[in-house]
Homo-oligomer: A and B are copies of this chain.
Amino acid sequence: MCQLLGMNCNVPTDVTFSFTGFAQRGGKTDHHSDGWGIAFFEDKGLRHFVDHQAAVESPVAELIRRYPIKSKNVIAHIRKATQGVVSLQNCHPFVRELWGRYWVFAHNGDLKDFRPRLHSHFRPVGDTDSEHAFCWIMQELAKSHASVPSIPELTLTLKELAARISPHGTFNFLLSNGQALWAHATTSLYYLERRHPFGEAHLSDEDLKLDFSQETSEKDEVSVVVTSPLTRNEAWKAFGKGELVVFSEGRRLEV
């Protein structure tokens, strides 16, 4: 199974601490060594890094661990190939442009017999079920709205679309357009909302701890979504099966 990591914040925040633990799962504490990727929004702009080397060995992952890129919306993925060969074009997250915004998508799971005809202009470049599903979502979003809708409107549309894909298999995914982070779970997905008062966090995958009270201001709010809890001493909440949650400005929105 692949591993997902998402972060949504109210102020640009670096993901160095979480990524350090997460990257260990790419070939060290877990066996997901078929590539990895990460995307950071900066306003509407995007930094997108993919590599088909294992995240623990990748010089690009080393850069991310050392260079604190600050972002309000981050999506990362470590790949264990189930469908599609190990190649750069099959590395998540995938990116497309719609309505003058970039959209970033990463998927964990396996979809069976989900290859709907893509009659619009979004086409997969690689050969994964995941990118095919993403292109279908983009196609359906483009048909459902004339321009970027509000976050609640988009959330309702995404709930409908996720419900149509979910019967085909395991569909844990993260999606962001730089305004919000959407997360959908079939099997394993957890989230955490960090806000004042901040405490100390201990990584599960590496012997490293960080006192967030030293790194943050009282107004900071950060939500983290991940396949399995990244820290040992914080209260991660499990997603329900088929649950789609949207995070904006660092907190879960009720839609």
| A residues whose Cβ falls under 8 Å from a Cβ of B | 42-52, 59-60, 63, 66-67, 87-91, 95-102, 120-126, 142
Contacts and interface: CB of A to CB of B under 8 A. Distances in A.
B43 A88 contact: yes
B125 A88 contact: no
A97 B89 CA distance: 12
Given A59-B66, A63-B59, A43 B99 contact: no
B121 A142 contact: yes
Contacts of A52: 45
Contacts of A67: 59-60
Number of copies: 2
Contacts of A97: 96, 122-123, 125
A45 B124 contact: no
Contacts of A51: 47
Contacts of A46: 50, 88-89
7 contacts: A43-B87, A44-B126, A45-B87, A97-B122, A98-B121, A100-B123, A121-B121
Given A42-B87, A45-B52, A46-B50, 9 more contacts: A45-B87, A45-B91, A45-B125, A47-B51, A59-B63, A97-B125, A98-B123, A100-B124, A102-B125
Contacts of A50: 45-47
Given A59-B63, A59-B66, A63-B59, A44 B100 contact: no
A125 B142 contact: no
A6 to B, nearest CB: 19
Contacts of A95: 95
B47 A88 contact: yes
Contacts of A102: 125
Nearest to A59: B67
Given A59-B67, A88-B42, A89-B43, A123 B96 contact: no
A180 to B, nearest CB: 17
A46 B89 CA distance: 7
Contacts of A91: 45
A71 to B, nearest CB: 10
Nearest to A35: B45
Closest 3 CB pairs of A and B: A45-B88, A45-B89, A100-B123
